[in-house]
């Protein structure tokens, strides 16, 4: 059985061909890359930002939180924005705004100004992710749609990896302002190419009333949840009144949001896409597995730099091996999606990622660079099957006019799962480290000559115990990731069996009823 291809309304112009298609895809994928990059690039620069602006590191983290909250709020609104103003117009406006506020972030001389501009940068960056995904489907011929999605998916995967590495290198060798200034030439290139190549693919617009209540409810619950996730570890989670209040606010307003949006005639977020089982299971599988994937992306650089004394550059080299096989296998995965049951390809990809996570559970403190980089390199084999497959399944299961809404919700769920993975994995890492440290202290019997060295000897013992405790904690997190991948590989089989493709040139199949996947 053939896998589903994403469905989309007939474009207002013929698909691009040859070099023009390559340039258009490059511009859209690079736009997505720079937006996803900015989610993580500032993480390692907080000490530099805080010191430069004369604030505490805790205050400096709001430069990260403000962007994450604003982006998380705006991503699910993409479908409504595209329907009201047009996909191309929304994309280009957001891209220009992203570049402008990147400049203003870099020029900021106070924390208040930086936070304000980061909020605006996040609001502009939010629509770029799903809009770039939607527009790639419009510039590619239908039979090459999965190739376009493969290119887009790889930018989504690699950007969070390079963000901390690039941010650390820039902050150490230049200054933190350049983590924002580097966006400007990228935005300029993407803007010029997009303006020349994709304006002809504007989507129809429809004047709809603004769902102010639904918008307000969404802003409140998303903001509360995102702040809770960002601040939870710092505040020791539910031992903090702030975290408890944020959790209650998020839960109450989320329920109110669901009730309102499902009963509103013109909702700000089209939740009806979840009635298609192919979309629901595709998004659930992608979010679950991406959480395990992103946990490793966050944890490995921390482990290498804090426990093995790797520099940011060398840690980046170890992480970068992930992209080699991923780039090679992307066109192969894209070509196989239309020919096989996409559930099989997705299950294979996720299972492979789980095996690589399990391979890391045997890491030891004295391992060499090859032992670290080998799972990173091999992981690239399964990534395209997972990302391209789940994206094709999800977007291939909704009606053409719902593509923008579906892409926005899918990107929101993936972004949210990454935020949850960051909070949960680092919290588990800390707790497992403390537990292992206590266990090792109870078991250790240091040599008498080392004990006789006094404070120096005790310091050496404490250092060795701490290093081993962190290594054991890291292995525990990888074991958890491996289990989550296994769950994802099973969940995908709850999706409906893809329907056969229509013959080339034939009429499209009738609209599938709720819960069934379609293939166009």
- Residue-by-residue DSSP string for 312-341: HHHHHHHHHTHHHHHHHHHHHHHHHTTTS-
Q: What percent of the chain has pLDDT over 90?
A: 21
Cα 300 from Cα 70, distance rounded (Å): 27
Given a cut of 50, is residue 128 above it in pLDDT?
yes
pLDDT tens string 149-177: 777 877 777 777 777 778 777 877 788 88
For residue 6, pLDDT over 50 is answered with no
Please report the pLDDT score of residue 124 as a whole number: 92
Q: What share of the chain is helix, strand, coil (3-state, %, to 5)?
A: 80, 0, 20
The per-residue pLDDT for range 412-457, each reduced to its tens digit, is 888 888 878 878 888 888 888 888 888 887 777 666 555 555 555 5
Which segment of 256-265, 416-425, 444-453, 480-489 scores lowest on mean pLDDT? 444-453
**Per-residue confidence band for 93, with pLDDT thresholds at 50, 70 and 90:** very high
Mean pLDDT over 345-356 rounds to: 94
Q: Which has the higher per-residue pLDDT, 313 or 406?
A: 406
Per-residue confidence (pLDDT) for residue 58, from 0 to 100:
65
pTM over 0.75: yes
pLDDT bracket for residue 44 (50, 70, 90)? low
Section 305-333 average pLDDT: 78
| 227 pLDDT more than 80 | yes
For residues 514 and 178, which has the higher predicted lDDT (pLDDT)?
178
Answer whether 394's CB lies under 8 Å from 368's CB. Answer: no
Contact 155, 32 (CB under 8 A): yes
Q: Provide the residue count of the chain.
A: 520
The domain 18-210+268-494 belongs to what CATH superfamily?
MFS general substrate transporter like domains (1.20.1250.20)
Confidence of residue 5 (pLDDT cuts 50, 70, 90): very low
d(CA 156, CA 414): 10
Predicted local distance difference test score (pLDDT) of residue 480: 93
What is the structure's pLDDT at 511? 39
The torsion defined by the Cα of 384, 386, 387 and 392, in degrees rounded to 10, comes to 110
Residue 486 has pLDDT above 90, yes or no: yes
pLDDT at 519 over 60: no
Q: Which residue has the higher pLDDT, 162 or 248?
A: 248
The whole-number pLDDT of residue 146 equals 74
* C-alpha 34: how far from chain center: 12
Average pLDDT over residues 109-122: 89
Percent of the chain with pLDDT over 70: 89
What is the per-residue pLDDT for 485? 95
More confident residue, 256 or 237: 256
**DSSP structure class, residue 309:** -
pLDDT band at 507 (very low <50, low <70, confident <90, very high): very low
Of the chain, the end-to-end C-alpha distance in Å amounts to: 13
From CA 344, how far away is CA 22, in angstroms rounded?
Answer: 29
Task: Check whether 362 has a pLDDT greater than 80.
Answer: yes
Spatial contact of 485 and 354, defined as CB atoms under 8 Å apart: yes
Q: Which of 7, 270, 255, 24 is nearest to 146 (CA)?
A: 7
Query: Distance between CA atoms of 377 and 321, rounded to whole angstroms?
Result: 5
Report angle CA 233, 175, 192 to the nearest 5 degrees: 100
Give pLDDT, residue 404.
76
Provide the pLDDT confidence category of residue 285 given band limits of 50, 70 and 90: very high
* pLDDT tens digit sequence for 363-390: 888 888 888 888 888 988 898 898 888 9
> CA 129, 132, 134: angle at the middle one, nearest 5?
105
pLDDT at 420: 83
Give residue 9's pLDDT: 46
Helix intervals (H) in 41-144: 46-53, 57-60, 62-74, 78-85, 87-107, 111-139
Band (pLDDT 50/70/90 cuts) for residue 329 is confident
Q: Which of the pair, 43 or 159, is modelled with greater confidence?
A: 159
Contact 87, 406 (CB under 8 A): no
Mean pLDDT, the chain, integer: 81
pLDDT at 437: 83
The sign of the CA dihedral 164, 170, 175, 179 is negative
Structure tokens belonging to residue 365: 């403190």
Q: Looking at residue 513, what is its pLDDT?
A: 38
């Amino acid at each position: 059985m053939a896998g589903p291809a994403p469905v989309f309304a007939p474009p207002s112009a013929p698909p691009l061909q040859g070099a023009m298609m390559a340039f258009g895809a490059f511009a859209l994928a690079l736009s997505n890359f720079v937006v996803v990059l900015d989610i993580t690039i500032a993480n390692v620069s907080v000490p530099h930002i805080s010191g430069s602006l004369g604030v505490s590191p805790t205050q400096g983290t709001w430069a990260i939180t403000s962007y994450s909250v604003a982006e998380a709020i705006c991503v699910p609104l993409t479908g409504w924005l595209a329907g009201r103003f047009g996909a191309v117009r929304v994309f280009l406006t957001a891209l220009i705004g992203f570049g402008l506020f990147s400049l203003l972030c870099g020029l900021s001389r106070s924390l208040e100004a930086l936070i304000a501009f980061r909020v605006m940068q996040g609001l502009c960056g939010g629509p770029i992710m799903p809009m770039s995904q939607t527009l790639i489907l419009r510039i590619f011929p239908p039979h090459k749609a999965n190739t376009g999605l493969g290119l887009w998916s790889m930018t989504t995967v690699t950007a969070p990896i390079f963000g901390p590495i690039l941010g650390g290198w820039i902050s150490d060798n230049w200054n933190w302002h350049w983590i924002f200034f580097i966006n400007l030439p990228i935005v300029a290139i993407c803007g010029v190419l997009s303006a020349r190549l994709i304006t002809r693919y504007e989507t129809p617009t429809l004047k709809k009333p603004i769902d102010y209540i639904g918008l307000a409810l969404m802003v409140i619950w998303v903001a509360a949840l995102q702040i809770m996730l960002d601040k939870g570890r710092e505040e020791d989670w539910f031992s903090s009144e702030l975290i408890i209040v944020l959790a209650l606010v998020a839960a109450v307003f989320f329920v109110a949001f669901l009730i309102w949006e499902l009963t509103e005639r013109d909702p700000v977020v089209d939740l009806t896409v979840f009635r298609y089982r192919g979309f629901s299971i595709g998004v659930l599988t992608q979010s679950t597995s991406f959480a395990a994937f992103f946990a490793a992306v966050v944890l490995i650089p921390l482990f290498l730099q804090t426990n093995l004394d790797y520099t940011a550059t060398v840690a980046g080299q170890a992480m970068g091996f992930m992209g080699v096989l991923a780039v090679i296998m992307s066109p192969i995965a894209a070509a196989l999606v239309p020919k096989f049951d996409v559930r099989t390809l997705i299950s294979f990809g996720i299972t492979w990622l789980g095996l690589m996570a399990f391979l890391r559970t045997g890491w030891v403190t004295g391992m060499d660079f090859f032992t670290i980089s080998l799972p990173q390199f091999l992981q690239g084999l399964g990534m395209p099957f997972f990302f391209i497959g789940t994206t094709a399944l999800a977007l291939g299961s909704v009606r053409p006019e719902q593509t923008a809404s579906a892409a926005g919700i899918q990107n929101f769920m993936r972004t949210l799962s990454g935020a949850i993975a960051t909070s949960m994995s680092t919290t588990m890492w800390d707790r497992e480290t403390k537990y292992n440290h206590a266990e090792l202290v109870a078991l250790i019997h240091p040599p008498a000559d080392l004990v006789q060295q006094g404070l120096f000897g005790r310091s050496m013992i404490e250092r060795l115990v701490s290093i081993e405790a962190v290594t054991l904690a890291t292995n525990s997190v990888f074991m958890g990731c491996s289990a989550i991948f296994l769950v994802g590989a099973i969940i995908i089989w709850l999706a409906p069996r893809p329907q056969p493709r229509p013959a080339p040139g034939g009429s499209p199949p009738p609209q599938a009823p709720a819960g069934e996947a379609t293939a166009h």
